[in-house]
A and B are shown apart, each in its own frame.
Chain A
């Protein structure tokens, strides 16, 4: 080839279409905001019927995760996500979708090695690094309490 990879890469950059950020960002904002408003409404509702603040929060997560699992099963979550982008990714519903969708997908390879083993193929890193970060913080916090 009579062209260097550097030069080639430069031309690729020029001819590749950029994301239409004027569309994607407002969509992410609106859909993500709407999911959070739903969360807020659930939080208020569970608070009003007598749950403690912590438990109302947990009930809200539980409800949102249930809804996300249902919408994922009905093949609606990914359809909304096609337009909403990070708006459906960042909320806890996105985490649920990333657990439920591999469960559906890899069921065909069996309930143990398919569904069971591959459920956390996307969400696994979230737990690995989230939990590890919390342990590191716990150790630092413990040392602080000693001082």
Chain B
């Protein structure tokens, strides 16, 4: 039952974060790239204020998988690095905590482009 609740919260919180993005797309002139950027920056701010970890407590993947979670990860990494290395840490923590995500995207992107070509969308409703 607990496990079911975990998944339910992940679904609800993750879904809600995506729905907010959709509202921004539909109602404002924000392009997808701007939305990605704002989500990450919002995640950094929420993480810095310490407001994001409680959301992760409840929602787990529902809060870590959206890009706000990526932003929160950056904030967390910076905090840890500053604790260990002082001011220099401000320039270390972000990339350290983003390392896996960014490296994976770069490497899998390169691998994918060895095997696949871009192609036209199939146009169906």
Contacts and interface: CB of A to CB of B under 8 A. Distances in A.
A–B touching in complex (CB under 8 Å): yes
Interface of A: 18-19, 21, 24-44, 57-58, 60-62, 64-66, 69-70, 72-75, 78-79, 82, 85-87, 89-96, 98-101, 103-105, 107, 115, 119, 122-123, 125-127, 129-131, 133-135, 137-142, 145
A99 B105 contact: yes
Nearest to B39: A90
B11 A28 contact: no
A134 B62 contact: no
* Secondary structure call for the A interface: helix
Nearest to A88: B18
Given A30-B15, A91-B18, A95-B101, A115 B113 contact: yes
Contacts of A90: 17-18, 21, 35-36, 39, 66-67
Contacts of B79: 137-138, 141
Contacts of A69: 105, 108-109, 111-112
* Secondary structure call for the B interface: helix
Contacts of A44: 3, 6
A103 B110 contact: yes
Interface of B: 3, 6-7, 10-26, 32-37, 39-41, 43-45, 47-48, 59-62, 64-67, 69-71, 73-75, 77-79, 81-83, 86-87, 89-91, 93-95, 98, 100-102, 104-106, 108-113, 115-119, 121-122
B26 A92 contact: no
Nearest to A125: B37
A105 B59 CA distance: 36
Interface pairs A-B: 5 shortest CB-CB: A36-B14, A32-B18, A138-B90, A33-B15, A40-B61
Contacts of A126: 33, 36-37, 40, 67
Contacts of B122: 75, 79
Given A28-B19, A66-B104, A130 B40 contact: yes
19 contacts: A36-B65, A37-B10, A40-B61, A62-B101, A65-B104, A66-B108, A70-B112, A91-B66, A92-B66, A100-B108, A103-B109, A104-B113, A107-B117, A123-B36, A126-B67, A127-B102, A129-B37, A133-B74, A137-B45
Contact of B26 (A21, A58, A78): A21
B48 to A, nearest CB: 4
Contact of A139 (B60, B77, B87, B108): B87
Contacts of B60: 39-40, 43
